Amino acid sequence: MANCKPLLTPMSTSTSDSGVAAFSDPTQYRSIVGALQYDILTCPDVAFAINCACQFLHAPTEDHWSLVKRILRYLKGTSTHGLFFERLLSTTLQAYTDADWASSTIDRRSTGGSLHM
């Protein structure tokens, strides 16, 4: 993926549930998705996409592998982006949260996220 073409979005807006074909190397899928979890700390824009990939660690399909490759292509194009954390003198805690209630058409589960500063 070092010479791949970068993408502008980490995830497609349309969903495809055609991936009945199991991915040939689930260990490779788990290894890459596990490594991607560290990017959530400094690249919150990929948090939702990586969370979606994590939900299928037990039995990834070819569609899930395509999602992982799309995330990697997005990260290639945004390697200079990220969050910079600096020390502030303020002791005010700020928190943001969001959730979508059972919007997944695959398993009808809710997905939520939060950011604490």
Residue 47, domain member (yes or no): yes
- Position 31, amino acid: S
Q: Burial code of 68-87, b = ≥16 C-beta within 10 A, e = fewer? A: bebbbbbbeeeeeeeeeeee
Of the pLDDT bands very low, low, confident and very high (cuts 50, 70, 90), residue 18 is low
Tokens of 23: 């991915």
Question: For 30-84, how does the pLDDT look when each residue is reduced to its tens digit (9 = 90+)?
Answer: 999 999 998 887 788 898 899 989 999 999 999 999 999 999 999 999 888 877 7
Q: Is pTM beyond 0.95 here?
A: no
User: What pLDDT score does 111 carry?
Assistant: 75
Residue 13, domain member (yes or no): no
Residue 14, domain member (yes or no): no
Helix ranges (DSSP H) in the chain: 26-36, 39-42, 47-54, 62-77
Residue 102, domain member (yes or no): yes
Q: Which domain holds residue 42?
A: 26-116
User: What pLDDT score does 15 carry?
Assistant: 66
Residue 44, domain member (yes or no): yes
Q: In the chain, how many domains are there? A: 1
